Chains A and B, each alone.
Chain A
Amino acid sequence: MNPLELARSRPGEAFTVTFDDRPVPAVPGQTVAAVLWAAGVTAWRSTRGAGRPRGVFCGIGVCFDCLVTVNGRPNQRACLVPVRPGDAIRTQEGTGHDDD
């Protein structure tokens, strides 16, 4: 049993996104966090102080722990943002903004 089977889900056609340049499968309707979880990835940010890995914590957009860079835009909440075909998801380092 898996959740998609349990809910008798029939999603649209699967597509590919990349996580740190690696291809990862996705289906329409999934959030960035769901795609990464389904691929066995639990961390996609390193903190700006100690450089520790973080991923989903609250899952509902309150804690901001799951911040990630999508298509070059930093600080997106992975638990809220839906994936689109071809999305380039990257581990976010520190503030997510390039240092000059």
Chain B
Amino acid sequence: MTERAHLAVVGAGPAGLAGALAAADRGVRVTLVDAAEQAGGQFYRQPARALGARRPEALHHQWRTWRRLREGIERHIAAGRITHLTDHHVWAVQRASDSSFTVYALRGPAEEEGATVRADAVLLATGGYERVLPFPGWTLPGVVTAGGAQAMLKGALVLPGRRVVVAGTGPLLLPVATGLAAAGARVAALVESAAPVALLRGAPALAAEPGKLAEGAWYAGQLMRHRIRTLSRHSVVEAHGTDRLTAVTVAALRNDGRIRPGSARRISCDTLAVGHGMLPHTDLAETLGCTLSGPTGTAVRVDDEQRTDVPGVWAAGETTGIGGAALALAEGHIAGRSIAARLRGVAPDPRSWAASARARARLRRFFAALEAAYAPPAGWADRLTDDTVVCRCEEVTAGAVRTAARSLGAGDLRTVKLFTRAGMGWCQGRMCAPAVAGLTGCPLTAGRRPFARPVPLGVLAALPDD
């Protein structure tokens, strides 16, 4: 066989790009398959080309890292070593009996046409999505995820509204609040359910990241500059409005995470950007047969080389556990080097990526500490009224979910789904699974989704024979 070995990278965010670059630098032929119009993923999401942005860096952090990455990828694309398939939405990856892989995608924003990519190895860099725990009123138009508000700002250069409350928990809230303010929104409050003291508890791991401390100081300055009021150890307990959001009620949390009586106050706003951390996209890995693990049992398990336990399948970035762009870059780089060696039939030398391995270890500790500090407030599930919709797609209420658990005996997410339809709709439970788990006391497990996105029956019927 004279043709060089071929790697398919699914996802063109930091992990996928770093992996593609490291592999292509070492002679591997790479096809980069990604759903967006341009590379970047969520963190480096670029404004649509036609918007003609001459200063996209105004919306971004760590722009220099991005420029280096992009230039490297562009060089390989020009030299024909990397093929970048944009607007390709991957719905499954299959491993054939000869150990080759086929990546199945839908093309274009309409996702009506099928496309396939053959490969000898696969790097899954599918990223993550935001977890939002429900509260009364969360389905009102004007309530968006924090990451969604940021994505629309970065990608489409548009604001969700004029007067915004940013709320929830996690490290994403700061850049969202300051980013929206810098782009012209009035940020009425930044409501964080974690306490500053909880962050200090992870101090050794946090202090080991001087870069992160500097970043924190920078954000503090931005909050002051845009006069953003920060309410820590507070939570949004209700969103108000009839057909769209008009205000939120915010309340202080006690040490045990419950609402401090008499502390509720109303803040008027037309937008609530809310999020409670991130979850990894694991559908493709799960269908390939990769073992999932991680603190919540919902991340792809990898070894020191970023290999999954399915031969020929690597994974890097948020899909292996939430840890941000810098960790994704380190993991992607290690994966790319490992793939380049393994595809030549050689065991890689881990010393060649020692710096990335050190960064990976440090950042994983850092994010483990953050995750502990930014836990959602205790008792959030008890505050859900029975009529609050939990499954947004199928409009299943908290009351129906509770009934399924209490009187029909459902003790796991799949059984709750079968009894109530929570998780059977368009999003296939990605949005409601954490809430259903919290409401019923079931463990949050990764759902089994052989189709990582909806597939037209005509595309399935026309699949190539093999």
Query: Chain A: residues with CB nearer than 8 A to chain B?
Result: 1-12, 27-31, 33-34, 37-38, 42-43, 47, 49-50, 52-65, 67, 73, 75-77, 79-82
A42's partner among B109, B142, B156 (CB-CB below 8 A) is: B142
B141's partner among A34, A38, A53, A59 (CB-CB below 8 A) is: A53
Kindly report which residue of chain A lies nearest to residue B157, judged by CB atoms.
A3
Asked whether, in the complex, the Cβ of A60 is within 8 Å of the Cβ of B244, the reply is: no
Question: CB of B147 within 8 A of chain A?
Answer: yes
Q: Contacts A6-B55, A37-B160 given; indicate if A11 touches B50 (C-beta within 8 A).
A: yes
The stretch of B255-263, B321-329, B352-360, B388-396 in contact with A is: B388-396
Asked whether, in the complex, the Cβ of B141 is within 8 Å of the Cβ of A58, the reply is: no
B149's partner among A11, A59, A81 (CB-CB below 8 A) is: A59
A7 to B45: give the CA distance in the assembly, Å. 13
A-B CB contact pairs (8 Å), 25 listed: A3-B157, A6-B183, A7-B47, A12-B52, A29-B47, A31-B152, A34-B157, A42-B270, A43-B141, A43-B244, A49-B394, A53-B141, A54-B392, A55-B142, A56-B148, A58-B147, A59-B149, A59-B152, A60-B42, A60-B147, A63-B392, A63-B431, A64-B425, A79-B151, A80-B109
Question: CB of B197 within 8 A of chain A?
Answer: no
A34's partner among B42, B59, B156, B245 (CB-CB below 8 A) is: B156
Residues of A within 8 A of B303 (CB): none
Residues of A within 8 A of B153 (CB): 3
Residues of B within 8 A of A59 (CB): 144-145, 147-152
Asked whether, in the complex, the Cβ of A6 is within 8 Å of the Cβ of B158, the reply is: no
- Binary interface profile of B, 148-185, with partner A (CB < 8 Å = 1, else 0)? 11111101111111000000000000000000001110
Asked whether, in the complex, the Cβ of B244 is within 8 Å of the Cβ of A29, the reply is: no
Asked whether, in the complex, the Cβ of A10 is within 8 Å of the Cβ of B157, the reply is: no
B431's partner among A11, A30, A47, A62 (CB-CB below 8 A) is: A62
**Smallest CB–CB gap between B17 and chain A, Å?**
18
A64 to B51: give the CA distance in the assembly, Å. 25
A66 to B141: give the CA distance in the assembly, Å. 10
Asked whether, in the complex, the Cβ of A33 is within 8 Å of the Cβ of B55, the reply is: no
- Binary interface profile of B, 180-197, with partner A (CB < 8 Å = 1, else 0)? 001110000000000000
A57's partner among B37, B159, B392, B425 (CB-CB below 8 A) is: B392
Question: CB of B54 within 8 A of chain A?
Answer: yes
Question: CB of B418 within 8 A of chain A?
Answer: no
The 8 closest A-B pairs by CB, nearest first: A59-B148, A29-B50, A64-B426, A29-B48, A34-B156, A28-B50, A29-B51, A43-B141
